[in-house]
Amino acid sequence: MRWGTVAITGAAGTIGAVVRRALRPEAERLLLVDRAPLRPEAGNEEVRPADLRDEAAVRSALAGADRVLHLGGIPDEAPLPDLLGANVLGTHHVLEAARRAGIGRVVLASSNRVTGFHPAGHRTAPDEPVRPDGLYGVSKAAVEALGRLYADKFGLSVICLRIGSFEPEPTEPRHLATWLSPRDTVGYVRAALTAPETTRFATVYAVSANTRRFWELPDPAVLDYAPLDDAEVHAGGIPGADLPPDPAAPQAGPYAAPEFTLPHLAP
């Protein structure tokens, strides 16, 4: 019982469910925020239904929180108006609620897709220019920009996690570079929630210690977590894992293709 009250938006999602179970013994109270149905599974859990697009509902849902893990939103390619509402406006509502309530730490779920057009042969650092691979990546770039604004202008302590390919195990060749294991997901979240409040703003790639990874691991001075898992352990069971990747191809793989975004554009 070290962390006070932690609010998790998107608590009904795939990552939210994993993190919720892990944080349950460590938080005095968990506020589970989602528009999808949820039920408390422990005495220290409280369900607070809210649509992230509703500012008043978000403010009410986060009342009493000491820290916020913001996982909510649309997690993949979609029409831009939908992404702007759920991801960008929703994040604005979370940050604004945190500002008004004096919440000490906000952890924002960003995505590796913010930089998907960097080439696969280049190990990318979080301070390099964004190169979104689609409309979803654009929305997450805006999420990071909002976090930076609220840190610089209003003094919030904000950490953005550029989440890799969250899967129980890697199942395709690209995952050998991008995999984020459930164990490392929890490790990154713990580190981000508990980093010193002197960390005013940081962006880090949340990826396992994959031998073939595209991205730099966190500087311990920025986020003190060293991932434990490596997708290479699973390479023998992945068809095509032995084929050399094209170093000039986008890190995003199929997400960078026009065909991935065209269905979400107006005819």
Domain 5-264 has CATH 3.90.1720.10: no
The per-residue pLDDT for range 131-145, each reduced to its tens digit, is 999 999 999 999 999
Residue 137, pLDDT score: 98
Task: Report domain extents, the chain.
Answer: 5-264
Taking 50 as the threshold, does the pLDDT of residue 175 lie above it?
A: yes
Q: Is 136 a catalytic residue?
A: yes
107 within 8 A of 70, measured Cβ to Cβ: yes
Taking 80 as the threshold, does the pLDDT of residue 2 lie above it?
A: no
Dihedral angle computed from the Cα positions of residues 90, 19, 13 and 156, in that order, rounded to the nearest 10 degrees: 0
Q: How far is CA 149 from CA 37, 80, 93, 146, 189, in A?
A: 32, 22, 13, 5, 22
**Which backbone phi and psi does 264 adopt, to 5 degrees?**
-100, 5
Tell if the pTM clears 0.85, that is, is over it.
Answer: yes
Taking 90 as the threshold, does the pLDDT of residue 241 lie above it?
A: yes
Residue 166's DSSP bridge partners are 180
Q: What is the spatial distance between Cα 233 and Cα 176, in angstroms, rounded to a whole number?
A: 9
The per-residue pLDDT for range 157-169, each reduced to its tens digit, is 999 999 999 999 9
Residue 1, pLDDT score: 43
Q: What is the spatial distance between Cα 97 and Cα 89, in angstroms, rounded to a whole number?
A: 12
Considering 136, 150, 225, 255, which one is annotated as catalytic? 136
Residue 104, pLDDT score: 87
